[in-house]
Amino acid sequence: MFSEKKSHIMSIIMVITVLVIIVLSLNYSSKKELGKPYFIQFNSYVASQINTYYTLDFVFFIDKNKENIITSNNIERVEFSDINNAQIEKYEFKNGSVAKKYKIITLSITTKFTKAEKDTLKKLNIIFKNGEVKRYPVGNWIFDVSNGLFKDTDINIGNGYRVMTGKLDKYFLSLNNISDKAIRLEKLIINLDGIKYDFIPTTVNAYKSFYKEIDLYVKSNICNDNLFFFIRPRIEYSKEGVIYSYFPYGVNFGLLNINDSIIDLEVGKAINAE
C-alpha cells in the first residue's frame, strides 16, 4: 500500500516536472533574440546660440525579427561622448516604420549648447541599468556654438522652408521679417567640409518675406561616402547697423530615400566605425 502511494506521488512529481520544463521551453523560445542597434552615420553641421536648446534626432536600425535593447526600460541614461560644448537635457524614443528587414527607431535628444566653441560628436554613450556602457558611432556631428548677439523676435520661418528633402543639392531658405524695421541678410553659414554655395546679401523690408533656393555645390566624394546629412545653418543679419544671429530649423537630407539596401550600407558603415 505504501509502495503504491509512493509510486503515485512520484508519478505526479514527474508529470509536474515535465510540465514545468515544457512551459519554460515555450517561454524561452517565444523570446526574441536581442538585436544590435546601428545608427545612421550622419554628416552634420549644427549651429546654435549658447545656452539654448534644440532637439536632434539620431535614427537607428534593428533587425525586425530581434528585440531592441535600447529602450527606456533598459537604459539608465544617454550621454554625448567626448565633447565639451553640449549636454543632454532629456531624450525619448520614437518608433518609426518597418522595412523588409529592419525596424527604424528614432532617439530624439533635447540638447543644451553650453560653451561657445566648435566640437564634433562621433559617438553616443548608452548606460544600461545593469551598469554596462556601450558606445555607438553616429557619424560626424559638428556643433558650432556662438555667443554673439542673438534675437528671436525679428525673424521667423516662412512657408517655403523645408525641414526634410531627398538630395543634398539645394537649401530652401524661407524667412519672414516680423519686425517693424528693414533687415539685411548678410551671411548664410554652413561650415561643412566639401560643401560650397553662393549667398548674395539681401535686404528684407519690414513685415516682408524672403525665399531663395540656394544651390549647394558638393564634392562628389562627399555624397559617395555619405548618404545622410543634417544641416542647421547660422544666418547673420543686420538691423539698424547691428549684427545679429538667427538659427533656423535644421534640415534632414536623405531620409526620404531610405530603403533596405541603403540601410544595409549604413549598417556596414556603423560596423566599420566601431
Residues 54-97: tens digit of each pLDDT: 999 999 999 989 989 999 899 999 999 999 999 999 999 998 87
- Let me know whether 15 and 88 are in one domain: no
- Let me know whether 167 and 181 are in one domain: yes
Domain range for 156 is 35-273
- Let me know whether 168 and 253 are in one domain: yes
Domains in the chain, number: 2
Alpha-carbon gap, residue 42 to 62, rounded angstroms: 17
pTM for this prediction: 0.86
Closest listed residue to residue 231, CA positions, set 191, 265, 187: 191
- Let me know whether 221 and 120 are in one domain: yes
- Let me know whether 181 and 156 are in one domain: yes
Alpha-carbon gap, residue 167 to 240, rounded angstroms: 37
Q: What is the pLDDT of residues 153-172, one digit of tens each?
A: 999 999 989 999 988 999 99
- Let me know whether 15 and 55 are in one domain: no
- Let me know whether 93 and 114 are in one domain: yes
- Let me know whether 222 and 239 are in one domain: yes
Could you tell me the pLDDT band of residue 27, with boundaries at 50, 70 and 90? very low
In whole angstroms, how far apart are CA 57 and each of 46, 106, 120, 135, 251? 12, 6, 16, 17, 11
- Let me know whether 20 and 154 are in one domain: no
Q: Is the dihedral of CA 215, 216, 219, 224 positive or negative?
A: negative
- Let me know whether 115 and 130 are in one domain: yes
